[in-house]
Amino acid sequence: MSHQPTPHSLRFHGTTILAVRSENQVVMAGDGQVTLNNTVIKHNARKVRRIYNDTILVGFAGATADALTLTEKLEQKLERYNGNLTRSAVELARDWRADKYLRRLEALMIAADGTSMLLISGNGDVIEPDEGIVAIGSGAVAAQASATALFHQTELDLRRIVEVSMQIAASLCVFTNDRITIEALDP
């Protein structure tokens, strides 16, 4: 007897989002694969985008509808707090953790502007990475390790570091593909 999946047993599997910051630039990338159980259902999803008049980059891992809801909520906070990313992220995390509806959302976000780069979670976390390199999703360890090594051991520009690191993550993680969206903010 074969097991037929129910809507509640269907699982969307990760993605890889990577962000790297230097003194004068931030580059963020995400792969395009969406997987439902053991099937790839989309190859070119866009998981990295610009918000708040193109001044902030966001990337998300997790359920797409949840991530889009959180992106919209972050943009509302940015409007309320005049583009202050840190304050907006803290307020979003507070709401995310406290609100019964938002608490059920399954996603992680990275948000970056000209001065800050933050990982935001539903547990109330707002974390600024020490070295200006952060990754989320199923291929995060490979992407972050690669980006860290390339950042410290090569003269590659940030865009190339992110591109190579995402290619490495795609070669190791079955839930990450090589159809990568890259966005950059220059001060």
What single-letter amino acid sits at 2?
S
What whole-number distance in Å separates Cα of residue 175 and Cα of residue 40?
A: 8
What whole-number distance in Å separates Cα of residue 29 and Cα of residue 159?
A: 9
Instruction: Annotate 74-132 with three-state secondary structure.
Output: HHHHHHHCCCCHHHHHHHHHHHHHHCHHHHCCCEEEEEECCCCEEEEECCCCEECCCCC
State whether the Cα torsion 48-60-17-61 is positive or negative.
Answer: negative
Catalytic site positions: 15
Phi then psi for residue 53, to 5 deg, are 55, 35
